[in-house]
Amino acid sequence: MNQKAFNYITGAIFCIVATLHLIRAILGWQVFVAETEIVVGVSVVAFICALLLAYSAFALNKKEPTENSKNL
């Protein structure tokens, strides 16, 4: 698998994760881990982080390769 394919797949996975966190925040789904409720604010923060990671993965595909990476 080349780097562009890896970045694309990673970006798509993070988009799915971000979408699920956004849906949970909007619909107010309850999540419990070991009988402890995880507040919706955690999903809001996770949504922002996942969205930034997805953007970064897609942005890496648009960058032109540097001279050093061409030689590898």
Structure tokens at 20: 């699920």
- For 57, how many CA atoms within 13 A lie in the half-sphere containing its CB? 19
Dihedrals φ, ψ of 69, to 5°? -75, -20
**C-alpha span between 65 and 69 (Å, rounded):** 6
Encode pLDDT of 4-42 as tens digits: 899 999 999 999 999 999 999 999 899 999 999 999 999
Beta strands in the chain (DSSP E): 31-33, 36-38
Separation of CA 31 from chain center: 19
0.85 exceeded by pTM: no
Q: What is the pLDDT of residue 70?
A: 61
Confidence of residue 2 (pLDDT cuts 50, 70, 90): confident
**C-alpha span between 12 and 54 (Å, rounded):** 7
